[in-house]
């Protein structure tokens, strides 16, 4: 007889483990597989881009100018604009033709990959979009004018847009950190700290930047999955 079969020897941990094993076995047996994910998971690369206030659109592209649609984005109502600007760093290094995304926002913001920051000479902080306090600035040059941003240049923190059904399914809430596993030939990777950005009218979509997308060879990925990490001791 095994040690575990003697009730007096069973520790609380043993009992919990046995119960857990039985329950998970039972659930797997009864349902066959997990509940279906309510929405397909899209993982897209956000190439470097700029968000502009309407006021800045008019400075850069002329009084009365409006952004015009070049290509709709996956999220309803958002688009890549025909308009582009040059982003100039502190040592006059420049990246030309950076796409503006619409619609306009309250505050202008420049989202770059680390590699872009290195070539511009800007030490990019990793920030959730819109969290611009204390971030570095740059100069934006358009066909009709120039804007000097005092702040607003960031590397956007990798994130996943989730609607109510997705929050339910993954049992998480706005601001939680998930993991994204990308299965790619030769470079399967788990990205941590994929921050949940919840809103009502949104499609399930992960945004990575070009550095991240290239590192995991996203173009060749065969499968992607979001994973809720076990609670760990560290604070993030």
Q: Which residues of 117-148 are buried (b: 16+ CB within 10 A; e: fewer)?
A: beebebebeebebeebeebbbbbbbbeeeebe
The smaller minimum CB distance to Zn ion, of residues 42 and 59, is found at 42
The residue sitting closest to Zn ion, measured at its beta carbon, is 207
Query: How far is the C-alpha of 235 from the C-alpha of 231, rounded, in Å?
Result: 10
User: By CB under 5 A, is residue 49 in contact with Zn ion?
Assistant: no
**Whole-number minimum distance, CB 2 to Zn ion, in Å?**
53
**Whole-number minimum distance, CB 161 to Zn ion, in Å?**
6
The smaller minimum CB distance to Zn ion, of residues 48 and 207, is found at 207
**Whole-number minimum distance, CB 23 to Zn ion, in Å?**
37
How many binding residues for Zn ion (CB under 5 A)? 1
The smaller minimum CB distance to Zn ion, of residues 56 and 207, is found at 207
Q: Contact 156/195 with Cβ under 8 angstroms?
A: no
Distances (CA, A) of 156 to 49, 53, 227, 234: 10, 18, 20, 22
Stretch that binds Zn ion, among 8-16, 48-56, 115-123, 205-213 (CB under 5 A): 205-213
Cβ-based neighbour number of residue 89 at 10 Å: 20
The end-to-end CA distance of the chain, in Å, is: 46
Selected binder of Zn ion within 207, 208, 218, 221 (CB under 5 A): 207
The smaller minimum CB distance to Zn ion, of residues 49 and 207, is found at 207
User: What residue ranges bind Zn ion (CB under 5 A)?
Assistant: 207
């Amino acid at each position: 007889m095994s040690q575990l079969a003697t009730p007096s020897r069973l520790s609380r941990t043993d009992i919990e483990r046995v119960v857990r094993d039985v329950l998970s076995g039972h659930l797997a047996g009864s349902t066959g597989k997990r509940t279906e994910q309510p929405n397909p998971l899209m993982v897209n690369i956000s190439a470097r881009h700029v968000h502009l206030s309407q006021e800045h659109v008019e400075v850069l592209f002329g009084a009365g100018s409006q952004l015009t649609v070049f290509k709709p984005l996956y999220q309803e109502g958002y688009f890549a604009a025909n308009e582009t600007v040059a982003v100039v760093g502190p040592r006059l290094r420049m990246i030309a033709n950076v796409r503006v995304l619409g619609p306009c926002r309250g505050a202008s913001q420049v989202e770059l990959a680390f590699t872009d920051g290195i070539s511009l000479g800007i030490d990019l902080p990793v920030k959730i979009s819109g969290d611009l306090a204390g971030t570095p600035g740059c100069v934006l040059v358009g066909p009709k004018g120039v804007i000097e941003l005092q702040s607003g240049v960031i590397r956007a923190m990798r994130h996943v847009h989730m609607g109510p059904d997705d929050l339910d399914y993954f049992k998480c809430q706005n601001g939680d950190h998930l993991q994204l596993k990308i299965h790619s030939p030769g470079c399967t990777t788990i990205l941590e700290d994929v921050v949940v950005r919840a809103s009502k009218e949104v499609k399930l979509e992960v945004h990575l930047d070009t550095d991240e997308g290239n590192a995991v060879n996203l173009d060749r990925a065969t499968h992607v999955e979001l994973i809720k990490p076990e609670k760990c001791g560290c604070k993030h």
